[in-house]
Amino acid sequence: MVGQPRGNGDAAEQGEGPEDGKPLSDEARSAFTPPLGVPLPPPPEDEHPTSEFSVPQGLVAPSAWEHGSAFTPPEGIPVVGPLAKPGSPWQDRMRTMVRMPLAERPVPERAGRAENAGEAESGPAAPRVLDLILRIGELLLAGGEGAEDVEAAMFGVAHAYGLDRTEPTVTFTLLSITHQPSLVDDPVTLSRTVRRRGTDYTRLSSVFGLVADITQGDVTLEEAYRRLAEMRRNRHPFSKGALTVASGALSGAASLLVGGDALVFVLAALGAMLGDRLAWLCSKRGLPEFYQFAAAAIPPAMMGVTVVLVNSDSEYRIKAAAVITGGLFALIPGRALVAAVQDGLTGFYITAAARLLEVIYLIVGIVCGVLLVLYAGGELGAELTPDAVEHINRPVTQLLAAMLLALAFCVLLQQERHTVIPATLNGGVAWLIFGALTQAQVPPVPATIVAAGLVGLFGQLMSRYQFVSSLPYITAAIGPLLPGSATYFGLLNIAKGDVNQGFEKLATAGALAFAIAIGVNLGGELARLFIKTPGLETPLPGRRAAKRTRGF
């Protein structure tokens, strides 16, 4: 009969209703209940069903199951080989890991990771760690550190705080870092723009020390933030007046290297100091760097034009050219040109191209300021050729001038006071080697490579034995070798219409910049390969080469 309820026996057998025989509602019916007339499946023999991802029995030897070697341990695969050497410099370890693919990088060696997983989970939040990493990278990049070293420092901090899947990216004005907690989590990406650049190697050394302490596991996140704030508040070791005097000493020493005498030294130093004050005035008014460099180039050019107006003999024309060339040496960004070449050698081509474009813009500004003064001097009857310098062989004078140039460079770079004397001596040694090789009829480019290589090797030695950055011992020491005057002469000749001569000078400047960068880079690589860290009996970790294009 329609609508008549089923019997109690059927309902109980099928599991569809309670003992009173009333039908179940549609919500109470399960989709997996067998239909009427189909018997229930037998109960499973094992109450603990296996996962579909379990390894079939017999696939792995019983000894492997007993010893636990069949699976990856919870603390990760132990790091073997040279990466695990304790006490090796963090730059070497991080450069090696940065150049590894993400899947091949070893897990961070954090003590107690497997024993106390609760502490690992209660560690610092990833966004805060990433923010600290970006702030550290910003100070390093703004202070003049190379792109590869900045990326290695960022990765080292992330590695120390336990962020396994981290990818830092460094360009000329943008820093970014991406962290993915696991393969199933969304990645977290933060970025920071470097808008202002100030050369302060004292702050750079402090940040370097902070990164070294963090990688050794001795600094908490809050303490790292506190130390970073103190670095930002610290004043520069040298005042603006000292920087102006150093700019004059640098230009005077450069004028002696290109054949000047005492009068040329004084005029070049005076012009450089006036140009420095004028550039500071333009900076306070908010003018871009292009116009600041153009304004700073006007006083040295005016000094040279004044010399020709007072005495138009050929000897004084050469002195006037030396005054202009030496007075502009403090402005010409030869260090930035070498940094661009170094970034290109280490594979950071976007950053290298940006640095090179910045160098071109700044030198064009210098040329515009010089040409403006030369045009006005020509109207007054002062005709001179700015690149008509005479290189006179005066070994003792030029050696002292090179050391004075390196000393002034140390002040302009705001180095720590205890690094000034070693860097000055290093600059003197570099010029001595360069001068001896050129007197032995060695071409300038190979002589520059040898001299810069010794500078880089010495910088790495000081870096390893004092656990500091190598830049304060390298940058000022290569000052006498910088190809700033050749770059300036090249663009000046192009602006005056002598294109062939201009491109010849630019080619010379590029070759010298490559020679300096290759020498410094090669000296550093030799130090990493063959020089052990003090207190270590184990060899230094190897440095994996970047896998780039193969030419096709």
Locate all alpha helices (DSSP H) within 332-443, ordered by sequence. 334-345, 349-379, 395-412, 420-439
- The stretch 258-268 carries a mean pLDDT of 86
User: How sure is the predictor about 273, in pLDDT bands with cuts at 50, 70 and 90?
Assistant: very high
Question: pLDDT tens digits, residue range 236-258?
Answer: 788 888 889 999 999 989 888 88
User: How sure is the predictor about 132, in pLDDT bands with cuts at 50, 70 and 90?
Assistant: very high
d(CA 171, CA 27): 61
Cβ–Cβ < 8 Å for 386, 332: no
Which of 189-193, 219-223, 296-300, 346-350 is least confident? Answer: 346-350
Decide if pLDDT at 542 tops 80: no
Q: Distance between alpha carbon 402 and the CA centroid of its chain, in Å?
A: 27
User: How sure is the predictor about 104, in pLDDT bands with cuts at 50, 70 and 90?
Assistant: low
In the numeric block, which tokens belong to residue 408?
């002034």
Percent of the chain with pLDDT over 90: 9
Which of 213-227, 267-281, 313-327, 516-530 is least confident? Answer: 516-530
Which of 87-91, 511-515, 546-550 is least confident? Answer: 546-550
Surface-to-core class of residue 478, CB atoms within 10 Å of its CB (0-12 exposed, 13-18 middle, 19+ buried): buried
Q: Distance between alpha carbon 246 and the CA centroid of its chain, in Å?
A: 26
Instruction: Return left, alpha or beta for 484; rule: phi > 0 is left, psi -120 to 50 is alpha, else beta.
Output: alpha
In the numeric block, which tokens belong to residue 466?
């004092």
User: How sure is the predictor about 15, in pLDDT bands with cuts at 50, 70 and 90?
Assistant: very low
Nearest CA to 369 out of 487, 492, 509 is that of: 492
Decide if pLDDT at 218 tops 90: no
d(CA 425, CA 447): 19
**Model-level pTM?**
0.70
d(CA 76, CA 98): 19
d(CA 502, CA 499): 5
Model pLDDT, residue 552 = 36
Question: pLDDT tens digits, residue range 512-541?
Answer: 888 888 888 787 777 666 665 544 444 444
d(CA 72, CA 52): 19
Decide if pLDDT at 193 tops 80: yes
Please enumerate in sequence order all residues whose Cβ is within 8 A of that of 312, keeping only pairs 6 or more positions apart, or say none. Answer: 382, 383
Q: Please list the residues that pair with 170 across neighbouring strands.
A: 175
In the numeric block, which tokens belong to residue 10?
């059927």
Model pLDDT, residue 69 = 46
- Over the chain, what is the mean pLDDT? 75
Please enumerate in sequence order all residues whose Cβ is within 8 A of that of 407, keeping only pairs 6 or more positions apart, or say none. Answer: 249, 420, 424, 427, 476
Model pLDDT, residue 95 = 59
Decide if pLDDT at 308 tops 80: yes
Model pLDDT, residue 274 = 92
| Backbone φ and ψ of 178, nearest 5° | -125, 135
d(CA 538, CA 520): 25
User: How sure is the predictor about 29, in pLDDT bands with cuts at 50, 70 and 90?
Assistant: low
Positive or negative torsion for Cα 373, 378, 380, 385: positive
Which of 71-75, 355-359, 418-422 is least confident? Answer: 71-75
d(CA 311, CA 314): 9
- The stretch 453-478 carries a mean pLDDT of 79
